[in-house]
Amino acid sequence: MLNLKVHIDNNSGFCFGVVYAIQLAEEILNEKGILYCLGDIVHNDEEIQRLRKKGLITISHDQLQNVKNETVLLRAHGEPPSTYQIAIENNLTLVDASCPVVLKLQNRVKQSADADKKIFIYGKRGHAEVEGLIGQSNNEVVVFQDIKELDFEKMPKKISLYSQTTKSTEKFYSIYNQLLEQGIEIDLNDTTCRQVSNRDIQIRSFAQSADVIVFVSGLKSSNGKVLFEACKQYNPRTYFVSSTSEIDPSWFNALETVGICGATSTPMWLMEEAKERLMGW
């Protein structure tokens, strides 16, 4: 027996936007037994499987074109205007669970676009939230994940800078300062979600509170990648798992303390399942 001492990070688990989306989904599923969701409701396969068993049907944007007279949930990531237009044309009932933080960001991007500003977004290409932001503008929007992708000589001398809400605040301001050093005038829009960015700070402390960290997250979670790297930086014995079956006993020594934490898209029940597995060794 390893006799591990295991504790879960109380600050980990769903952010309020994801909590709201899943609560809405479960209410409708309990009432109707079926609900369409546009894209993964959360970037966690284990949680999606749980909801699928309740009747949640995940569809793509291409599939949405052929869905008519049904109820469709819009997840927390937000959607471009084109999605709402399709809903009108196909007589869809939308259950809009777009996160208020994302909706505020969309509005600010639209204002910048209407003012014909050059919009640059620090974010992940193809991410649902970023696609929703791009849809707010009829003009070209530059999306980048690393400042090295930008050609300073070809950039406009004045830009409007935004961030995907789940990106690191620290890195966002580092990018801002590097652009200023290049002589670029910046209309700065700090649009990182503070609930998410505070997790970055909290998790660094948590990472040092145990001998070993088990970080539980979906493989698609951008926030999960950021927080895992933060954990790894402060505790090299940090291991990433997407399901509890991936946890390996060889990672631990007898009587060690183990901390379990996760992304804003990681359900608490999955971290509790990980704890139960560890306590059995």
pLDDT of res. 45: 94
Mean per-residue pLDDT, 149-170? 93
pLDDT band, residue 168 (cuts 50/70/90): confident
- pLDDT of residue 166 exceeding 90, the answer is no
The pLDDT of 52-72, averaged and rounded, is 97
Residues 73 and 36: beta-carbon distance below 8 Å: yes
pLDDT given at position 138: 87
Residue 169 pLDDT exceeds 90? no
Check whether 75 has a pLDDT greater than 90: yes
- Which tens digit of pLDDT belongs to each residue from 171-188? 999 999 999 999 999 999
Residue 197 pLDDT class (50, 70, 90 cuts): confident
Q: Cα dist. 99→25, 164, 260 in Å?
A: 14, 13, 26
Residue with tokens 């505020």: 104
Mean pLDDT of all residues in 76-89: 95
Element (H, E) at 176: helix 169-181
Instruction: Assign a CATH topology to domain 16-98.
Output: Rossmann fold (3.40.50)
Is 26 noted as a catalytic residue in this protein?
Answer: no
CA angle, 131 as apex, 115 and 137 as ends, to 5°? 20
Evaluate if residue 233 carries a pLDDT over 90.
yes
Question: Among the options 47, 79, 129, 131, which is catalytic?
Answer: 129
| Residue 129 pLDDT greater than 90, yes or no | yes
Cα–Cα separations (whole angstroms), residue 44 to 13, 48, 70: 11, 6, 25
Of the chain, the percentage scoring pLDDT greater than 70 comes to 100
- Give the pLDDT of residue 91: 98
Please compute the mean of the pLDDT values over residues 63-85 and round it to a whole number: 96
Q: Can you give the pLDDT at residue 251? A: 97
Question: pLDDT class for 252, splitting at 50, 70, 90?
Answer: very high
Q: How far is the CA of 62 from the CAs of 59, 65, 86, 92, 128, in angstroms?
A: 8, 6, 11, 15, 14
Q: Which fold has domain 5-13+198-279?
A: Cobalt-precorrin-4 Transmethylase; domain 1 (3.40.1010)
Which residues 6+ apart lie within 8 Å of 10 measured at CB?
Answer: none
Phi, psi of 205 (to 5 degrees): -70, -45
Start-end ranges of CATH 3.40.1010.20 in the chain?
5-13+198-279, 101-192
CATH of 101-192, one of 3.40.1010.20, 3.40.50.2020, 3.30.70.1090, 1.10.10.10: 3.40.1010.20
Which pTM was predicted? 0.87
Per-residue pLDDT reduced to its tens digit, 205-231: 999 999 999 999 999 888 899 899 999
Q: Is 178 helix (H, G, I), strand (E, B) or coil?
A: helix
pLDDT reported for residue 112: 96
Give the pLDDT of residue 271: 98
Query: Is the Cβ–Cβ distance between 192 and 172 less than 8 Å?
Result: yes
Average pLDDT over all residues of the chain = 95
The pLDDT of residue 196? 81
Ranges for all domains in the chain classified under CATH 3.40.50.11270: 16-98
Query: What's the confidence (pLDDT) of residue 206?
Result: 97
